Homo-oligomer: A and B are copies of this chain.
Amino acid sequence: MKILIINPNISESVTELIVQEAIRSCLAGTEIVAETADAGVAYIETRAEAVFGAHAVLKKVAKHYEHVDAVIVAAYGDPGVCAAKELVDIPVIGLTEATLAEAHLIGGRYSLVGISERIGVWYRETVRYYGFESRMASYRGLSKGFAHVACVQQEKRQMLLDLCLSCVEQDGADSIILSGAPLAGLAREIETQIPVPLIDGVGAAMRAAQSLASRGSLVRKRGSYAAPPKKESKGLPIEIERLLHKKFQLNDG
């Protein structure tokens, strides 16, 4: 099985972190292809930054979709994930949707722990988009800045651990999602210190992608995830124009 992992941000060092955890989490024999956004920001924290990320995701999906079995969009907040699902018949999985699925199966209420307070609003909106807000216990994020996003999990480990414990003690969390690609792999290192299950975004996405891909390709001829109806387009990245063109031909055929 071949999995495309897209980092919708421009941080190559975060892509590296993501790939390492992906390798630790995948089934034997899985091949991983990683892409980092050509355009965008260091990490997505707001609605505007998510627009840049979504655009980058569609371009990378269009480039690779014919040669992989599933796609992981490796950012919490799932930029471009639902959009990409419309365009391809393979599973496209975002970190938010995958961790929510895992928190749901573990049971009860979950909290999110993330790398800034600001980012929490965007995460809440994503959770609400998926209709999971009634089971969310809380969001807690780092209140102070950090030196570099790819090292935030080392630099702020103790604070992140304290936030997790507060989610359990004060917010009633039955599980905790370490939300944000820059936290990839942290769960393995601190899980013995936390009295409820910890969920890693990249790990959960890898499990979800492989699980879903094992079902075979997805049939999307009707409903709101069928390919967009044929219409005029122009000026889009060449990979996307080509993908749309092929879809329109299929719809016509």
Contacts and interface: CB of A to CB of B under 8 A. Distances in A.
Contacts of A133: 131
Given A54-B54, A101-B104, A39 B234 contact: yes
Contacts of A229: 45, 116, 118
| Category for how many chain A residues contact B | 35 or more
A16 to B, nearest CB: 16
Interface string A44-83: 0111111110110010000000000000000000001011
A93 B211 CA distance: 15
Interface in A4-45: 10-11, 27, 37-43, 45
A223 B138 CA distance: 14
Interface of A: 10-11, 27, 37-43, 45-52, 54-55, 58, 80, 82-87, 91, 93, 97-98, 100-102, 104-109, 116, 118, 121-122, 125, 129-135, 168-169, 172-175, 191, 194-198, 203, 207-208, 210-212, 214-215, 218-226, 228-229, 231-236, 240
